[in-house]
């Protein structure tokens, strides 16, 4: 896939891309992830209400000094990078999918690359964010270390997480049908734990509930698969129905509540230098 829109995408073709597996359980590779998001790219922003939610965008791009260098990792169409650009920052969007990068607005530097090996020098940006990208990375630890390595001041991570680790079967079934590129499943508070484990100082950790709808996320699936997803929602045990507040809207849709975890963490002086460049 190539982009017709200017400016040009800085691309880092990685010959190892198609060889990187995610543990061999489901055959996902970085190349299959890229192809999957290339296919989703044109309708991506319509798939869920959180994508353009201004409150969530503000939470991840503020505070931010004018002129800051801002990196959006697993940027998709670059909604956060674009918000940083609007705030007078130098914004970079990094993603493995060229289809997604084609949607990134003019003025944002677009880099085609992978989170596991960010093609930037150490400490070359001030603030990095990653929203809903860590679900898909091949190597979570490596990706987080890379984000820390390239950042000077702060990293901000936000993800939908399970209400409880016990819900993993529900999410695995959901991912198999709806988001087959998914590699990671986070329990409540786990992202914070990961960042603390890397030696970062937590500035803010919050979680909130977001009411969402199933129909937009399954619109692009074939009818048989849509039916299987609807059956999955209709057959959940009472514990899951209660936690996720699952309500049937009509025969083609369900409303439910997901948990978001958002963590802002400061990089202590000297730390990013200690992390080895990959």
Q: Is 116 in the site for ligand SAM (CB under 6 A)?
A: yes
Q: Is 9 in the site for ligand SAM (CB under 6 A)?
A: no
Question: What is the smallest separation between the CB atom of 185 and ligand SAM, expressed in angstroms?
Answer: 14
Residue 138 touches ligand SAM, criterion: CB under 6 A: yes
Q: One symbol per residue from 180 to 219: x for binding ligand SAM (CB under 6 A), - otherwise; what is it?
A: ----------------------------------------
One-letter-per-residue 3-state SS of 148-205:
HHHEEEEEEEEEEECCCHHHHHHHHHHHHHHCCCCCCCCCCCHHHHHHHHCCCEEEEE
**Structural contact between residues 57 and 80, judged by C-beta atoms closer than 8 angstroms:** yes
Instruction: Spell out the residues 6+ positions from residue 228 whose beta carbon is closer than 8 angstroms to its own.
Output: 177
Residue 31 contacts ligand SAM per CB under 6 A = no
Binding to ligand SAM (CB under 6 A) within 49-108 occurs at: 51, 74-76, 79, 95-97, 100
Q: Name residue 206's beta-bridge partners.
A: 262
Q: Report how far residue 80's alpha carbon sits from residue 128's, in angstroms, rounded to the nearest whole number.
A: 10
- CB 258 within 8 Å of CB 271: no
Q: Which of 14, 28, 37, 104 binds ligand SAM (CB under 6 A)?
A: 37
Q: Which residue is nearest to ligand SAM (CB)?
A: 76
Among 64, 91, 115, 195, binds ligand SAM (CB under 6 A): 115
C-beta of 37 vs 254, nearer to ligand SAM? 37
Largest CA distance in the chain: 56
Instruction: Please state, in angstroms and as integers, the Cα–Cα distance from residue 214 to each residue in 54, 74, 210, 218, following that order.
Output: 20, 23, 13, 7
Q: Tell me the closest approach of the beta carbon of residue 102 to ligand SAM, in angstroms.
A: 11
Contact criterion met (CB below 8 Å) for 148 and 73: no
Least Å distance, CB 238 to ligand SAM, is 30
Residue 131 makes contact with ligand SAM by CB under 6 A: yes
Contact set with ligand SAM (CB under 6 A): 30, 33, 37, 51, 74-76, 79, 95-97, 100, 114-116, 131-133, 136-138
């Amino acid at each position: 896939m190539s982009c017709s829109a200017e400016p040009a995408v800085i691309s880092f073709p990685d010959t190892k891309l198609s060889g990187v597996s995610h543990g061999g359980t489901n055959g996902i590779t970085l190349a299959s992830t890229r192809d999957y998001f290339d296919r989703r790219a044109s309708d991506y922003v319509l798939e869920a209400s959180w994508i353009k939610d201004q409150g969530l965008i503000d939470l991840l791009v503020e505070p931010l000094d004018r002129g800051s260098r801002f990196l959006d990792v697993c940027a998709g169409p670059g909604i956060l990078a674009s918000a940083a650009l609007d705030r007078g920052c130098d914004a970079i969007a990094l993603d493995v999918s060229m289809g997604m990068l084609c949607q990134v607005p003019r003025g944002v530097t677009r880099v085609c690359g992978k989170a596991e090996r960010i093609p930037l020098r150490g400490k070359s940006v001030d603030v990095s964010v990653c929203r809903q990208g860590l679900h898909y990375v091949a190597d979570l630890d490596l990706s987080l270390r890379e984000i820390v390595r390239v950042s000077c001041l702060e990293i901000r991570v936000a993800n939908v997480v399970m209400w409880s680790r016990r819900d993993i079967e529900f999410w695995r079934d959901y991912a198999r049908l709806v988001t087959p590129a998914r590699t990671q499943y986070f329990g409540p508070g786990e992202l914070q734990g990961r960042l603390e484990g890397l030696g970062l100082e937590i500035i803010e950790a919050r979680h909130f509930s977001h009411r969402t709808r199933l129909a937009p996320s399954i619109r692009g699936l074939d009818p048989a698969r849509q039916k299987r997803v609807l059956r999955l929602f209709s057959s959940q045990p009472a514990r899951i129905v209660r936690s996720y507040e699952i309500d049937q809207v009509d025969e083609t849709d369900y409303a439910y509540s997901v948990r978001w975890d958002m963590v802002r963490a400061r990089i202590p002086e000297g730390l990013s230098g200690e992390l080895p460049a990959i």
